[in-house]
Amino acid sequence: MRIINVNRNDAGQRLDKFLSKAVKGLPTSMMYKYIRLKKIKVNGSRAQPNDMLAEGDEIALYIRDEFFDSPEGDVEALFRIVPKIDVLYEDPNILLLNKRPGVLVHEDASAGENTLILHVKAYLAQKGEYDPRAEQSFAPALCNRIDRNTGGIVIAAKNADALREMNEKIRNDEVRKFYYCVVHGRMPKREDTLRAYLKKNSADNLVSVSDEERSGWKEIITKYRLLADRQGLSLLEVELVTGRTHQIRAHMAHIGHPLLGDGKYGVNRRDRERGYKYQALYAYRLAFRFENGEGTLGYLNGKSFEIPKQSIWFLKQFLND
């Protein structure tokens, strides 16, 4: 028998979700079977898979020891690598990071140790704010994603409460996201709100955009404001009202203004010759506009965070071209 004591970062989860992370060697089908047969109990009583765990709960597992013998992952790497992250803001609950173009946010076999999340974990582990050996189901996590070749602000949560709450705020559109981008051509209006519909093709990692509503397609809303134009290019500030995959890149290309340097939704051979290695797109500002100031992250309500213009690689080149 093994006893697992639920800590703060474990609380607020369903029993089955927690066990899938805390006992990685236990097959899912057997986990449900053992719960049904009362070989897994919570606080000495019969449990259900959807029981919500609270801090201090005691989970008793009458199962073989071999299910606990699962790989821990490369914990040593968190103390071996030198974290390379650009911290824009930090407090006890979150990190705001300036992700550079070319950096992958999540683990990938081709990226090796050059991923943002690995460096975040290493940074917090080496500071003593994250102990991977002590945590049973939680690890620091990213709340939003940015394409590999796009730069900008990424939110990382240091604890489970912050992760749950920030993810909820993002789902409820209480986190406003603003981008700088450079597109080909002169915009027809100085500012506009664009509406269309988008469908993702996961196999090709591409999206399609339509002006007409179609079954299975999701609405996209993109606001832009023209900041400058020169030599057939336009510098825009864009606000994502909806946040779909490749939304800005695909939406701008759909209206005939592909992003400078974007080879997926535009033709960028000449752009590369001019020194634009990545698409000219940067998530430069976040604004927290919560419906109320309660909760773990309530102190962020009303605050905005912005990456300095001089840190955005394509702005200086565009303005000097």
- Owner of token pair 């990213």: 142
Burial of 185 (0-12, 13-18, 19+ CB in 10 A): middle
Q: What pLDDT, on the 0 to 100 scale, is given for residue 114?
A: 82
Among residues of the chain, what percentage have pLDDT more than 90?
80
User: Which range among 42-46, 153-157, 229-233, 274-278 shows the weakest confidence by mean pLDDT?
Assistant: 274-278
Judged against a pLDDT cut of 90, whether residue 124 lies above it is answered with yes
Angle, CA 201 vertex, CA 197 and CA 204 arms, to 5°: 140
Superfamily of chain region 175-320: Pseudouridine synthase (3.30.2350.10)
Start and end residues for every CATH 3.30.2350.10 domain found in the chain: 75-169, 175-320
Q: In which band, very low, low, confident or very high, does the pLDDT at 321 lie, cut at 50, 70 and 90?
A: low
Quote the pLDDT of residue 274. 84
According to DSSP, the residues that pair with 104 across neighbouring strands are 115
- The superfamily in CATH containing domain 75-169 is Pseudouridine synthase (3.30.2350.10)
The answer to whether residue 73 scores a pLDDT higher than 60 is no
CATH 3.10.290.10 domain span(s) along the chain: 2-68
Please write the tens of the pLDDT for every residue from 256-294. 999 999 999 998 888 988 888 899 999 999 999 999 889
Question: If you write DSSP's letter for every residue of 158-215 in order, what string do you get?
Answer: SSHHHHHHHHHHHHTT-EEEEEEEEEES--SSSEEEEEEEEEEETTTTEEEEESS--T
Does the structure show a pLDDT above 80 at 70?
no
Q: What confidence score (pLDDT) does residue 69 get?
A: 64
Q: What is the CATH number of domain 2-68?
A: 3.10.290.10
pLDDT for residue 33 is more than 70: yes
Over residues 139-156, the pLDDT tens digits come to: 999 999 999 999 999 999
Q: Who wins on pLDDT, 65 or 91?
A: 91
**What pLDDT is stored for residue 63 in this prediction?**
92
Q: Does position 49 have pLDDT exceeding 90, yes or no?
A: yes
Contact 123, 85 (CB under 8 A): yes
CA 93 from chain center: how many Å? 16
Q: Which tens digits make up the pLDDT trace of 209-222? A: 999 999 999 999 99
CA distance 49 to 58: 15
